[in-house]
């Protein structure tokens, strides 16, 4: 057996594998389960072999052993169509041989790659039935499959019931929670892991940094970065890229550049793209384009993501002509335009009020425009009050079957701004008939290392009375500066006083008020919002930054707004 295994490892091409197969058949070693399975596994899973040929060998074995099945299932699980591994696993249930822990493990890895949650659940039942549920490695694989299939509740149950956990187990949970939009739980697990003395590795910190990015949790992110440097994990370029992204999404662009310029490892195109996008989000289009031009000097070629980041930079900074030149130069540089590039240019033109040109760009596309393009145009129509163009975009969205609440809200707001209340009523009826529900606005803010979440009109916070009292004080003080509520941002045809009350308790205002009462004078306030900041909140927070002498950073769905001394980094262009 050792002789056959030694020969297998010397194969470096499919012809070599075929020669060895012939040799094993002639010598009778092919009848040995061990030798045959080793050959199958090598052929199915390595670059020297061929999965179709391994399958051909498998199909011609009269009496297959469990290891034969494992070899093919493992190869299929690693292939471009991992769901085929699950099909083979199902076929195995009719075979005389019985699946073992490895069979279940390979099939669960296929489920994770194919996002086959139901199949993973069924295999979990088999794991218990076969009596291999005590296998720690198999438990970890099962947990990872649940996490990658977004069944985080089942993953949590598995995690809690495990008597022994290794690094891999913690990584699966932390990454799953971070990728499954449960960043609070990801950070909680990361802290627990460190408290019990388990050292995080590169995979762990990638998940934790992703959670910090989602929450805008700068303090927690800074602690993780300290850990990264103390344990030399900053030699890993993926970790450095994640740190850059985290500081960018937490609003600290100076820290972003410090990490970038001090990197100990070779920068990749992902590093450069992350930097360009970071400056784009912060509204510094000039710096973003400067970095974009330096990519080639670093020996790399800008890719489609590089161009998208550069276009976003032009978009947020109002660099219309420069953005159009970039867009037109893409094909000359061998980079294909995709729907996201078109969307960015439509947004660029829409923000500048060039709606007809944006409409023509959409109509000139070689590919079919997606829903986002028409939504982008609709948003621009709302900004510039173009009802006719908005109705065109809305008709296109209806034809495409869009049920996004934002589409209806934008059109309704536009009608409301023109006091076309009958049309507002029609939009409302359309929303009811399609059962469209408005996405609730919420905001996060970090105070003392703790993340607090607020929703519009929130009264769940233990200090809500103090927060509302602070908002009343703010309303009184900003009125001295000529503030008048921008009630056209309110959808409903209700009384003026009610509209003002609705505006007053938006989630970002609640978060800012909480920051004012919870932190010392001069301490910056950072807020992370899930939707685009509304015009009224933008005006109010500018005034707050002046009156209370605070720097306030708001990251909304598309970009950062840095408020200081009564002005915003976006220069009121967003």
Reported pTM: 0.78
Measured between alpha carbons, how far is 26 from 43 in angstroms, rounded to an integer? 19
**Total number of residues shown for the chain:** 574
SS3 assignment, position 143: helix
> Are the C-beta atoms of residues 370 and 358 closer than 8 Å to each other?
no
Count Cβ atoms below 10 Å from residue 417 Cβ, excluding itself.
Answer: 15
User: What interhelical angle do 33-45 and 14-27 show, nearest 10?
Assistant: 170
Longest dimension (CA), the chain: 97
Per-residue model confidence (pLDDT) at position 497: 41
Measured between alpha carbons, how far is 89 from 102 in angstroms, rounded to an integer? 12
477 phi and psi, to 5 degrees?
-70, -40
Count Cβ atoms below 10 Å from residue 266 Cβ, excluding itself.
Answer: 9
Which of 262, 188, 180 shows the shortest CA–CA distance to 228? 262
What strands lie across the sheet with 552-555, from one edge to the other?
Answer: 450-455, 442-447, 525-529, 552-555, 560-564, 567-568
> Are the C-beta atoms of residues 250 and 217 closer than 8 Å to each other?
yes
Count Cβ atoms below 10 Å from residue 380 Cβ, excluding itself.
Answer: 26
Helix H segments across 438-526?
Answer: 464-479, 496-504, 507-518
Domain spans, the chain:
443-568
> Are the C-beta atoms of residues 24 and 31 closer than 8 Å to each other?
no
Mean pLDDT by 10 residues, the chain (574 residues): 67 80 79 78 83 88 89 92 92 88 92 91 88 81 88 86 82 89 91 91 95 90 94 95 95 93 94 96 92 94 96 92 94 90 93 93 87 88 88 86 77 80 84 75 88 88 93 91 68 44 81 95 92 89 95 90 92 78
SS3 assignment, position 568: strand
Measured between alpha carbons, how far is 5 from 9 in angstroms, rounded to an integer? 6
Per-residue model confidence (pLDDT) at position 472: 92
Residues forming beta bridges with residue 561, ordered by sequence position: 554
Instruction: Tell me, rounded to whole angstroms, the distance of Cα 534 from its chain centroid.
Output: 23
Q: Which residues contact 553 (CB under 8 A, 6 or more apart)?
A: 251, 524, 525, 526, 527, 560, 561, 562, 563
């Amino acid at each position: 057996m050792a002789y056959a295994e030694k020969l297998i490892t010397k194969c470096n091409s499919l012809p070599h594998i075929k020669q060895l197969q012939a040799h094993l058949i002639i010598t009778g070693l092919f009848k040995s389960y061990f030798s045959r399975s080793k050959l199958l596994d090598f052929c199915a899973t390595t670059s020297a072999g061929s999965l179709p040929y391994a399958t051909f060998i498998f199909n011609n074995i009269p009496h297959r052993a469990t290891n034969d099945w494992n070899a093919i299932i493992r190869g299929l699980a690693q292939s471009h169509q991992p769901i085929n591994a699950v099909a083979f696993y199902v076929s195995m249930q009719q075979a005389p041989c019985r699946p073992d822990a490895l069979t279940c493990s390979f099939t669960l890895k296929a489920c994770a790659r194919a996002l086959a949650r139901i199949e993973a659940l069924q295999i979990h039942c088999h794991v218990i039935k076969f009596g291999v549920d005590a296998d720690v490695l198999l438990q970890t694989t099962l947990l990872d499959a649940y996490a990658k299939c977004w069944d985080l509740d089942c993953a949590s149950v598995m995690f809690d019931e495990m008597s022994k956990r290794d690094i891999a187990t913690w990584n699966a949970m932390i990454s799953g929670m971070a990728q499954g939009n449960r960043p609070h739980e990801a950070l909680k697990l990361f802290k627990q892991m460190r408290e019990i003395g388990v050292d995080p590795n590169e995979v762990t910190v990638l998940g934790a940094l992703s959670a910090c990015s989602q929450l805008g949790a700068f303090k927690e992110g800074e602690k993780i970065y300290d850990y990264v440097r103390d344990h030399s994990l900053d030699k890993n370029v993926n970790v450095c890229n994640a740190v850059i992204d985290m500081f960018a999404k937490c609003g600290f662009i100076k820290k972003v550049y410090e990490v970038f310029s001090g990197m100990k490892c070779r920068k990749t195109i992902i590093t450069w793209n992350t930097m360009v996008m970071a400056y784009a989000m912060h509204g510094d289009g000039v710096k973003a384009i400067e970095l974009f031009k330096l990519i080639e000097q670093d020996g790399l070629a800008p890719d489609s993501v590089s161009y998208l980041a550069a276009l976003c930079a032009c978009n947020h900074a109002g660099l219309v002509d420069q953005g159009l030149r970039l867009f037109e130069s893409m094909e000359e540089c061998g980079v294909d335009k995709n729907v996201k590039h078109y969307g960015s240019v439509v947004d660029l033109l829409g923000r500048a009020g060039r709606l007809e040109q944006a409409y023509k760009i959409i109509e000139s596309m070689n590919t079919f425009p997606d829903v986002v393009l028409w939504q982008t145009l609709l948003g621009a129509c709302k900004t510039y009050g173009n009802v006719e163009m908005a109705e065109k975009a809305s008709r296109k969205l209806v034809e495409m079957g869009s049920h996004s609440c934002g589409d209806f809200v934008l059109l309704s707001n536009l009608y409301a701004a023109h006091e076309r209340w009958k049309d507002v009523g029609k939009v409302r009826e359309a929303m009811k008939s399609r059962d469209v529900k408005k996405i609730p606005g919420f905001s996060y803010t970090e105070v003392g290392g703790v993340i607090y979440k607020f929703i519009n009109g929130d009264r769940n916070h233990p200090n809500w009375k103090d927060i509302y009292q602070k908002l009343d004080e703010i309303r009184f003080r900003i009125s001295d500066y000529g503030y008048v509520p921008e009630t056209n941002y309110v959808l409903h045809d209700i009384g003026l006083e009610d509209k003002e009350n609705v505006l007053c308790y938006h989630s970002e205002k609640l978060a800012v008020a909480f920051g004012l009462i919870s932190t010392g004078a001069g301490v910056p306030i950072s807020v992370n919002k899930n939707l685009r900041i509304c015009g009224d909140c933008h005006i109010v927070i500018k005034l707050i930054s002046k009156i209370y002498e605070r720097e306030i950073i708001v990251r909304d769905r598309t970009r950062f707004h840095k408020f200081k001394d009564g002005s915003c980094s976006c220069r009121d262009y967003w």
